[in-house]
Amino acid sequence: SYYPWGYDGDNGPDQWHKNYPIAKGRHQSPIEINNKEVHYDRSLLPWFASYDPCAAKTILNNGKTCRVVFDDSFDRSVLRGGPLPGVYRLRQLHFHWGSSDDHGSEHVVNGVRYAGELHLLHWNPKYSNYLDAVRRTDGIAVLAIFLQVGKTPKPEMKRILEEINAIKTKGKEVPFPNFDPSILFPKSHDYWTYHGSFTTPPCEECITWIVLREPIIVSSDQMAKLRSLSKNAENEPDLPLVDNWRPTQPRYFRMVSASFL
Ligand SMILES: NS(=O)(=O)c1ccc(C(=O)N2CCCN(Cc3ccccc3)CC2)cc1
Ligand SMILES: [Zn+2]
């Protein structure tokens, strides 16, 4: 049964555990990444994404985020290498952002909150489908990229933000053809990796997180564009879709490994 969870007040992150008990688990995400506690692992391989631009299908507003959906009916757009045992299929990408430029990311690095965070979600095709993969500890891999506000924004973000006007309200979905999300990647592939969970309910602990050290630069106007999305449908009052990030969770006995010294 579906419970209306959210990010504020009585259905916010501190309440999620009431309907989704895993939210109080020992492998929750996001977490604080602090240099002092990170372990450089020289056996970590570089990661590679080989995405087919024609796999991109639609872009939508589900009232919680802006999401781009890809065809994952075969190994068409895949992520491999890094900490992963094999290829993982790209299924969707989405964003988390704040109500102002000084916060909005989910992971926090040495106390630094970024304006936002881009997540590219992939699932392990050794399982029969996505629903099966979310029940496995090695079922999902999310590549996380921080959004930092700066003067020289990455032009590649434009394509996504140009579509925002078409998906202003919850439930809107429009075609989004011919898009290769690897154009959004920063120069460096340096990353941290750890085992964690979905950062929204049901908070399953099935994710190998790959968090890139280098943020991509976006403009303040581009962040404002994301904030112009509404949480509600078009026939409801316009509630700005902002602060759709979960606070950091306890790391407990988890190791965060770094691919770089
Ligand atoms: N921020 S993130 O951790 O990258 C993230 C990624 C994906 C979602 C997401 O779309 N959902 C909605 C449905 C799918 N469930 C899994 C599921 C649970 C029960 C039955 C089937 C699938 C995950 C949450 C949320 C958060
Ligand atoms: Zn996310």
The ipTM of this complex is: 0.96
Predicted local confidence at residue 50, as pLDDT:
98
| Residue 127 pLDDT greater than 60, yes or no | yes
- Of ligand 1's listed atoms, the one at least distance from the Cα of 67 is 10
3-state helix, strand, coil in the chain (%, to 5): 15, 30, 55
Question: Is this prediction's pTM over 0.95?
Answer: yes
Sign of the Cα torsion 164, 5, 122, 115 reads positive
Give the distance (Å) from ligand 2 centre to CA of residue 209: 11
Ligand nearest to the CA of 129: 1
Cβ contact 231:170 at 8 Å: yes
Helical segments of the chain, H only: 16-19, 130-133, 158-162, 220-227
- DSSP 8-state class, residue 9: G
Q: What is the pLDDT of residues 202-255, one digit of tens each?
A: 999 999 999 999 999 999 999 999 999 999 999 999 999 999 999 999 999 999
Give the distance (Å) from ligand 2 centre to CA of residue 38: 22
> What lines the ligand 1 site, CB under 6 Å?
119, 121, 131, 134, 142, 198-200, 202, 204
Sign of the Cα torsion 74, 62, 195, 43 reads positive
